[in-house]
Homo-oligomer: A and B are copies of this chain.
Amino acid sequence: MVRLISLYNQPDDPAAFDAHYRDVHAPIVRRYPNLRGMRLTRADGIGGRPAAYYLMAEMTFDSRADLDEALVSDPGRESGRDLRNFAAAGVTLFVADDENATDG
């Protein structure tokens, strides 16, 4: 399994962010070819401090090749362009490939 992980910074207007994510962005992502699953988690802080991120999105694929194909697909490019519409506060993306994972 391979995960595309998107970490969204705290938005200025969380309600507007949530509405756009739910009504516009998530439906685009659901059209990614090869997508096996999508999990959204509101991040929590530690020790009374706010979380470093607002939201974590984990999109799962069977392989890195499947993920790369999704990113260059029409919905992949559309979701990239859509970031400017709601994620002005910033987003950090990386890939977590089980091929490069160990259970510690």
Binding site for B on A (CB under 8 A): 4-5, 26, 29-30, 37-47, 51-53, 56-57, 64, 71, 92-98, 100-104
Task: State the copy count for this chain.
Answer: 2
Whether the Cβ atoms of A102 and B43 lie closer than 8 Å is no
CB pairs A–B below 8 angstroms (27 shown): A30-B104, A38-B103, A39-B101, A39-B102, A39-B103, A39-B104, A40-B102, A40-B103, A40-B104, A41-B96, A41-B98, A41-B100, A41-B101, A42-B100, A43-B95, A43-B96, A44-B64, A45-B94, A45-B95, A46-B71, A46-B93, A47-B71, A52-B93, A53-B92, A53-B94, A56-B96, A57-B104
Cα A46 to Cα B4 in complex, Å, equals 9
